[in-house]
Amino acid sequence: MEAENGEARLASKGRAGLMRIETQKKSAAVCHDDSTPPVKAQTIDELHSLQKKKSAPNTPRTARTPRQGQGASAFAIISEEEIQKQQLQSISASLASLTRETGPKVVKGDPARKAEGQKVAHSGHSIHDTFDISDSALKFTHVLYNLSPAELYEQAIRYEKGSFITASGALATLSGAKTGRSPRDRRVVKDETTENELWWGKGSPNIEMDEHTFMVNRERAVDYLNSLDKVFVNDQFLNWDPEHRIKVRIVSARAYHSLFMHNMCIRPDAEELEEFGTPDFTIYNAGQFPCNRYTHYMTSSTSVDLNLARREMVILGTQYAGEMKKGLFSVMHYLMPQRHILSLHSGCNMGKGGDVALFFGLSGTGKTTLSTDHNRYLIGDDEHCWSENGVSNIEGGCYAKCIDLSKDKEPDIWNAIKFGTVLENVVFEEHTREVDYSDKGVTENTRAAYPIEYIPNAKIPCVGPHPKNVILLACDAFGVLPPVSKLSLAQTMYHFISGYTALVAGTEEGIKEPQATFSACFGAAFIMMHPTKYAAMLAEKMQKHGATGWLVNTGWSGGRYGSGNRIKLAYTRKIIDAIHSGTLLKANYVKTEVFGLEIPTEIDGVPSEILSPINTWSDKKAYNDTLLKLGGLFKKNFEVFANYKIGTDNNLTEEILAAGPTF
C-alpha cells in the first residue's frame, strides 16, 4: 500500500514490538458506514414511530354492493375519519351519565403515547352551559378500541400490577380479591315484564332489584369509568349463526378484561366493525370500584346487575373476568328463547359425517374430556344455541380449568396456552416463568381463556346441523346408575331439569361420603326462566329432528365411592363411540327398577356384566338401599319444580314427574 495514495501507513513499532497503524484522514472526508441509507427520523420518538406501521384499510372505500336491507346510501364513499367519528359518537353515547346526556368527550388512543401536536379525532360533543358538570366533563376520555392482543399485552404489563408473560407466551394476570363468581351478588331488575317472564323465588338464581337501584349502580360505574384517563372498549358478537347473532359492547378499565373478552366473544372483521353501529347489549365493568353498601339491595361491596329492558350489565366490586362471560350467557338464556331458540350449557362436537352430539355435565363428570375427540370436530366447549338452522356456538373462545393441567391428560388445552391466551391466578417460577399448574397458592379456580381457533380440530365457523344425540353426563359416586341408559323424551326432560352429579370425599372440604348435587338444566346459575321451559323446548327440538337422549354415568361401579371402582375411561369412550356410530340404537335393552332406565345388554369393547349395576355389587341389599336413597334425593330435589305449570293445563309437568324414580 502506498502511503501517498492510501488512507493509512505503517509507522514505527509500538509497545511489545507490534507495528502501529496511523490513520491519515483527508480534510474534506467524513468517516461513516454507508452500507445502508440512514433512517429518516430526527428524534428518538420519531424513530419509535417508524417501528409501528400504520394499518391500511382492510375494506374498499369505493362503492360496494349494499347488503340486504341497506338503501342507496350504502354506495356512498365513507372516509376513515367519518367511520372513526361515528364509532366515537356511539361510545360516547354508551358512556352518557344521567347528568350528561350527551356523554363524555372521547378520543382514540393511549394518553401516554400522544405525541405533542398530534391530531386526534374525538366525538365532537360540546359541554352545555350548565352548573351540574363535574371535572370529568372538562377532559377527554381516551378510548382504546378493539386493541389487538399484542397491544393489550403492552398495556397490561406496563400498567397493571400482577401481569407477566409466561414461558409459553401466555399472559398471566390476577383477578384481585375475587377469584370466582359471586352468585349471591348477582341481581336482575324486576319490572312489569320480567316479573312474569323470569323465574323468581326458591331455587332460582335470579335475585331481584328495582330499576332505581340499577340506575344508581350504573351511574356509579359510568362515573368511575369517565373519571379515568383511558378505558378499553370491545365491540364484538355472540352466536356464530349470523342470522341470530348479538352485538355486544364491553367497556372496562383493565387490559386483562379487554383481552379476556377479545378471546371469549366472536371477533368481528374490519368491515363488520365499520358497520357495527349501536350495540344490542352493553357491559360496564367498573370492577375495581365497589358499590355503595348503603344502596338498597346491596349486601356486600360487590354487585353484578342485569337490566334486560335497558340491555345493560353493571359490574362493581369484583375483577373476576368470568362475571362478564357468564353474565352474557344469562342474557342469551333470556333473549334466545324469545326467538324460539334454545340456549344450552353444553359441549358440542360433530363427526366427519355431519352427526352432531351435545354433552351436558357438571364439574367432574368428564364433559370436557369426552366432548374433546380428535376424530370429531369441536363446535364449542360450553355455550350453544339450537335454532331452526341447527346448532351454533355462542362464544369465540374457551375458558378452561387449569388446576393440575398436564400435557398428557389435556394436550389440546396445554398447547392452546400460548401467546394471546389469558392465564388467571396461576403461580409460576419467578425466573423461568414456567407455570406450576398444581399450585393452588392463589386459588384452585385457575383458568385459561383462549380463542377457539387455538384448538386444532375446531370447526370454524362454529356451527353444525341439528344434533342426533343428547348426552347427559353424571358422575354417580353412589354407584347405582348404569354406565349408559337410553332415555325417552320425558326422561330426558326429567334428568335435564335435575342436572345430577355427586361430589365425593376430597373434592370439597368436609365431604366424607358421596353427596348428591343438582343444577337445573346443568347450569342453574345462568338460566333466567323456569327450567321446565328450557326442558320443553329441548324435547320439542329432539322430537322434531329425531335426536336420542342418553344418560351416561362416568362415576362408580360395584359399590359407592370408597368400596367400588370408578368406571374406566376406556369403557366410557367405547360407549360414547357406540352412541356416535348409531350401533347402540340397535342393541337389546332391559329396564331397571326404581328409575325405569333402558339399559343395553351388550356393547362392543365393554364388559357386559358392568352394564347392569346390580351385577357388580356383592351386597345386593346394600345396592337396593343405596338405589332407593338416590331415588329419594331425586324426588326431594324435584319438589321445587313439581308445582310449576306450563300452559293452561298441567299435563307436561305430570308427564315429566312420571319419568322420574317410582317406588
Amino acid (1-letter code) at residue 272: E
Measured between its terminal Cα atoms, the distance across the chain in Å is 112
pLDDT band at 548 (very low <50, low <70, confident <90, very high): very high
Rg (CA), the chain: 31
Backbone angles phi, psi at 378, to 5 degrees: -90, 120
**Least confident segment among 63-72, 486-495, 645-654:** 63-72
| Predicted local distance difference test score (pLDDT) of residue 29 | 45
pLDDT band at 59 (very low <50, low <70, confident <90, very high): very low
Q: Is the pLDDT of residue 125 over 80?
A: no
Q: Is the pLDDT of residue 62 over 50?
A: no
Q: What is d(CA 454, CA 170) in angstroms, rounded to the nearest whole number?
A: 12
pLDDT band at 561 (very low <50, low <70, confident <90, very high): very high
- Helix then strand then coil, % of the chain, to nearest 5: 30, 25, 45
| Predicted local distance difference test score (pLDDT) of residue 455 | 96
Beta strands in 158-278 (DSSP E): 164-165, 171-173, 186-189, 207-209, 230-238, 246-252
DSSP labels, 217-242: HHHHHHHHHHHSSEEEEEEEEE-S-T
151-161 pLDDT, tens per residue? 999 999 999 99
Q: Is the pLDDT of residue 218 over 70?
A: yes
Q: What is d(CA 86, CA 91) in angstroms, rounded to the nearest whole number?
A: 9
Task: Give CA separation, 175 vs 181, 317, 320, in Å.
Answer: 11, 11, 5
Beta strands in 44-185 (DSSP E): 105-108, 140-145, 164-165, 171-173
pTM above 0.75, yes or no: yes
389-447 pLDDT, tens per residue? 999 999 999 999 999 999 998 999 999 999 999 999 999 999 999 999 999 999 999 99
Residue 39: DSSP 8-state: P
Cβ neighbours for 395, distance < 8 A, ≥ 6 positions apart? 238, 264, 265, 266, 325, 380, 382, 383, 452
Q: Is the pLDDT of residue 321 over 80?
A: yes
What is the arithmetic mean of pLDDT over 262-274? 96
Q: List, in sequence order, every residue forming a beta bridge with 242; answer none if it has no partner.
A: none
**Residue percentage of the chain with pLDDT more than 70:** 83
Nearest to 518 by CA among 638, 632, 625, 631: 638
How many CA atoms are closer than 13 Å to the CA of 570, on its beta-carbon side? 4
pLDDT band at 549 (very low <50, low <70, confident <90, very high): very high
Backbone angles phi, psi at 463, to 5 degrees: -135, 160
Q: What is d(CA 311, CA 323) in angstroms, rounded to the nearest whole number?
A: 16
Q: What is d(CA 499, CA 362) in angstroms, rounded to the nearest whole number?
A: 8
What is the arithmetic mean of pLDDT over 355-364? 95
Residues identified as active-site: 181, 326, 345, 363, 367-368, 382, 447
| Predicted local distance difference test score (pLDDT) of residue 128 | 41
Q: List, in sequence order, every residue forming a beta bridge with 644; answer none if it has no partner.
A: none
Residue count (the chain):
663
